[in-house]
Structure 1
Amino acid sequence: MNILYDDVANAVDWISSFGGLKQGGTTRLLYSVEWLAAQNALKQRMTEIGMHSYFDDVGNLYGRFEGSKYKDEVIMSGSHVDTVVNGGKLDGQLGIIAALLAMQYLKENYGQPLRTLELISMAEEEGSRFPYVFWGSKNVFAIANHHDVETIQDSEGIKFVDAMQTCGFKFNTQPARNNIKAFLEIHIEQGGVLEKEQKSIGVVTSIVGQRRYNIRLIGEANHAGTTPMGYRKDAVYAFSRICNESINKAIKVGDPLVLTFGHVEPKPNVVNVVPGEVLFTMDCRHTNKAQLVQFTEEIEADMLRIANELGLEIEINRWMDEDPIPMDNKLIKMLEQICKEEKLSYRVMHSGAGHDSQIFAPRVPTAMLFVPSIKGISHNPAEDTDTKDLVEGIKALTHALYKLAYQE
């Protein structure tokens, strides 16, 4: 299979130019000028290679090679076209470019597929401009509630609805897609496991479940010099105990559990006042729902105990509770077999980050491939993957699409 290095590298640089920043990196936010230019350029490129290309109501872009025998059975691949602010050149858009190159190769070398090959460039996944995620994939299945976005706006006060309409799109009027027989997404790992283990490909078994919290500790602000240690209701000290105990427990449990205290805001946050309040966040992830629930409930109980011991009040708000999402077992086995047959260096692994595949997987057979991230860096202008690993990943994707779309 002749997937050329230069073709891959040039395609990545091309798509990255839409929203490319002078200092490096890419910013391409939903319904921005840069976003619309990228989607229109992709549409033109799809048309040039013989695809039937079209937008849906909300701005998801599709390109199709119609099937000769089972045209109503769609084999789909792609990812999201939006980026984070000052992001890299691979997150999301690699899945689009890889599917485009793979489908072009198959059409040129094997002709019309038996089943329809369809590329999707999804409008949005990141939630970087507006406080809403998976707008693209949720609209594929008509599960996005327009009431959730009718009143939201970006940091500049531009309303979601106005931005959408300016780009020529509207709320979805179409029913859920029911003809997708398989969805494959290739993505950078966004972590360092594949690079450390010197593997070119990760075959993803599941996407982790997540529980996220906003937590408020309420003590008593007081003079730092005149308040004896035994009389204090120090919110930072309470937080430090919670953080220490929780992380030690997480370390003891071990992989694949991860626990993060990502934002900490003490008040009044000055040098000479005992802090009377701390706002902080907690993010916990695991591939097993029962173990995720058990661990977080234990941590919640620990937090209540520590606050009570120190005479503080605590408010615990769990605002995200997402179940782990397994990938399709048949597709996982197919990808493993391809890697073995083609002597591709791979490992089986889970995804610690969320992806569009988690919206697809409960509804259609879904699988994911990872390629390594250099130094594990993502959402950063330094985000990169060795081109040889990109080529290996696209090879695996191409073989998978061939098996699904060209074989009986």
Structure 2
Amino acid sequence: MITTTIQNYVDWLAQFGETAERGVTRLLYTPAWQEAQQALQQRMKELQLTVNMDAVGNVFARSEGTVYPEEVILTGSHIDTVINGGKLDGAYGVLASLLAVSELKRQYGAPKRTLEVVSLCEEEGSRFPLTFWGSRSITGQYKLAQMQNITDADDVSLASARQACGVTGGQDAQRKDIVRFVELHIEQGQVLEQEQKEIGVVSYIVGQRRYTISIGGQSNHAGTTPMHYRKDALVIAAQCISLCADAANEVGDGFVATTGQITAFPNVPNVIANDVKFTLDVRHYDEATIAMFCEKIFFNMEQLAKNVGATIIFEQWLEVAPVAMDKQVNDQLKLYLQQQHIPYKEMLSGAGHDAQVFGEHVPTTLIFVPSKDGISHSPQEYSTPEHLQRGVEVLTHILYELAYKE
């Protein structure tokens, strides 16, 4: 018997990779991942959709278009999780898309444009040191030839892990027929819940820059070195971190700056630190604002270090450009929500999603539903059945507009 409610679908898929803490661990190319993708393929076939898997393990369920079959509207999300994550992140978008497309086919028959549900093989980067392996393979940014040089913590290569779980094929997974991507996702934040909105219409997925900042001071005795003689790398780091937080607050407009990791050497209670490294994660929807912030803040950090004779080095290791979502569809979506009296908010996404990858290539739409207490990547991740169902209804409407109308 085919399950017909989104909550039942979510609970059903969560059994593949369920942990003792009632979370989900479903890493790329592991047995739990393989079982989940196989179960999804079987469910897709039961819903009378055409099913296939590409060379990296992305699974597709197709409802062929009758007028413009070569124009594919792709909808879905990712199947993988973080370690001991929640049951909704990624999986909800896959299952909601499957419900929406199958319901549209049941009610209205074949669409004019091809509708295709995708269960993307990987987004999180939880096993291998790469992210968006599924969507970046489809868009042509990743190639199969790169697999041999990528290994996990146990020195298992991406290529051998792929082969071990039965994913085959020598052709790259790049697609040229996709004209639009639509993703439904939990918010993973608390804005919608706090503002009592049922739907988030995402206007931009923010850009990101990440740095490691290294400060070189001078170790010395904690008791015999006067304060004004010190080159204390940890004090300078603390001043720099505080400077970042204050400057980010001044920018406002959704700008965020975070230090999430810090190490000090020699890390001894009675010794002044001579080497400190900390990370800086900067995010905003406007690339010029990010660039101006970094230029100004790094200049001020250099002055702090120079004042006490310390050194400071900035090493950038991530840069992701902001991506705008499709304004035309967003306007249609907002009009529909107003007509249906559904409380919504136009908002930014502070987290990266597969929509960010597709949005660099085709018009893309990203829709959020509320997350309880903003918790995600955790077994406590939760959205109410009512909010999950509302998301499915909104997704179904927008897919109908895109695929069934001229």
TM-score when scaled to structure 1? 0.96
Which one of the candidate residues 329, 334, 337 is aligned to 2:335?
337
Higher mean displacement: 157-166 or 92-101: 157-166
Match of 1:250 in 2: 248
Matches within 5 A, 1:3-402: 7-146=5-144, 148-170=146-168, 173-174=171-172, 176-402=174-400
Unaligned segments of structure 1, at least 5 residues: none
2:41 aligns to what SS in structure 1?
A: helix
- Take 1:343 and 1:386, find their aligned partners in 2: how far apart are those partners? 19
- Take 1:394 and 1:215, find their aligned partners in 2: how far apart are those partners? 44
- Take 2:233 and 2:22, find their aligned partners in 1: how far apart are those partners? 41
Q: Once the two structures are superposed, what CA deviation does each residue of 1:176-204 show, in whole Å capped at 9, x if it has no partner?
A: 32222221000011111000000010000
Check whether the contact 1:325–1:358 (CA below 8 A) recurs between aligned residues.
Answer: yes
Q: Percent identity?
A: 46
TM-score when scaled to structure 2? 0.97
- Take 1:49 and 1:237, find their aligned partners in 2: how far apart are those partners? 61
Give the counterpart letter for 1:135 in structure 2. Answer: W
Check whether the contact 2:55–2:168 (CA below 8 A) recurs between aligned residues.
Answer: yes
Check whether the contact 1:338–1:400 (CA below 8 A) recurs between aligned residues.
Answer: no
Change (3 A) 1:172 1:84: farther
Shift of 1:341: 2.5
- Take 1:279 and 1:14, find their aligned partners in 2: how far apart are those partners? 44
- Take 1:26 and 1:311, find their aligned partners in 2: how far apart are those partners? 50
Shift of 1:9: 0.9
- Take 1:340 and 1:354, find their aligned partners in 2: how far apart are those partners? 27
Unaligned segments of structure 2, at least 5 residues: none
Shift of 1:61: 0.4
- Note the aligned Cα RMSD (angstroms): 1.6
- Take 2:269 and 2:67, find their aligned partners in 1: how far apart are those partners? 73
Shift of 1:148: 4.6
Shift of 1:284: 0.4
- Take 1:393 and 1:374, find their aligned partners in 2: how far apart are those partners? 15
Q: Once the two structures are superposed, what CA deviation does each residue of 1:60-117 show, in whole Å capped at 9, x if it has no partner?
A: 0000011122211111100010000110011111110100111111111111111111
Higher mean displacement: 143-152 or 193-202: 143-152
- Take 1:342 and 1:124, find their aligned partners in 2: how far apart are those partners? 35
Q: Once the two structures are superposed, what CA deviation does each residue of 1:238-274 show, in whole Å capped at 9, x if it has no partner?
A: 0011011111111121131000011011111111111
- Take 1:57 and 1:145, find their aligned partners in 2: how far apart are those partners? 10
1:222 aligns to what SS in structure 2?
A: coil
Give the counterpart letter for 1:273 in structure 2. Answer: V
Provide the aligned length of Structure 1 versus Structure 2. 405
